[in-house]
Each structure stands twice: as C-alpha cells, then as structure tokens.
Amino acid sequence: MIQSTNSSVLVDFKKQTPYKTVYQVEETIGYIDDSAIEAIKKFADAVVVSRGSVYLVRPSFFITGQTNIVEKLQMFKLPVYVETFQNEFVSLGLGISTPMRPLR
C-alpha cells in the first residue's frame, strides 16, 4: 500500500505499480460531497482520515458525537482507515499509577 496526501503521487503510483493507493486527508473534515468521493476513487483505493473527522470531540476531550464520513465513504466502496487513536486520560488521580500506552 502506498499512502500519500498528494493525489498526483498516487496517480503516478497507480499507473506504474500494482500496489494499492491510499489517500490521506490532512484536514479534519465533517462532511464530504459525493463528487469529491468520486474524484478520490479515480486515484485511491482507500482513504485515511483523522479521529477528529470521525468523532466530535469537545475541548475537554470528551467525545460528544459522530460524523457520517466513514459511512459515506464506505457507501462508495472505499475502505476507510482512521488514525491516531490514543488513551484520552493523560493522568490518573489519587496516586494510582497504571501503565498506559497509546493505541496505534
């Protein structure tokens, strides 16, 4: 799999190699047009979005909702990968220490 934020790089790889191409969306998005999905399908076999594009997160780091980005991309038969999931709890109170590792 070849991943890039640049569509022209993916177009070149798609023409020259048998590898699957993955488009990484750099911005946090909450909505995507059908025409944009059709354009992405021309150069990518899958899409990577950030956690903020899937879940609505308050400044206090609580998840308060979910967007329909994943469902919409999957309706167009595009696999979707979501990146940078990690433990929301930065520290534990009351002197209790438990090893924590980010989920990757």
The structure's pTM equals 0.76
Give the pLDDT score at 58: 80
Domain-wise residue ranges, the chain: 2-83
pLDDT averaged over the chain?
86
Take residue 103 and report the two structure tokens written for it.
């989920």
Bigger pLDDT: 19 or 91? 19
Q: At residue 84, does pLDDT exceed 90?
A: no
The answer to whether residues 37 and 78 touch, using CB atoms and an 8 Å cutoff, is: yes
- Per-residue model confidence as pLDDT tens digits over 42-79: 999 999 999 889 988 887 777 888 999 999 999 999 99
The answer to whether residues 87 and 100 touch, using CB atoms and an 8 Å cutoff, is: yes
- Beta pairing, strands 46-50 & 55-57: unpaired
Find the range with the poorest average confidence among 16-20, 62-66, 78-82: 62-66
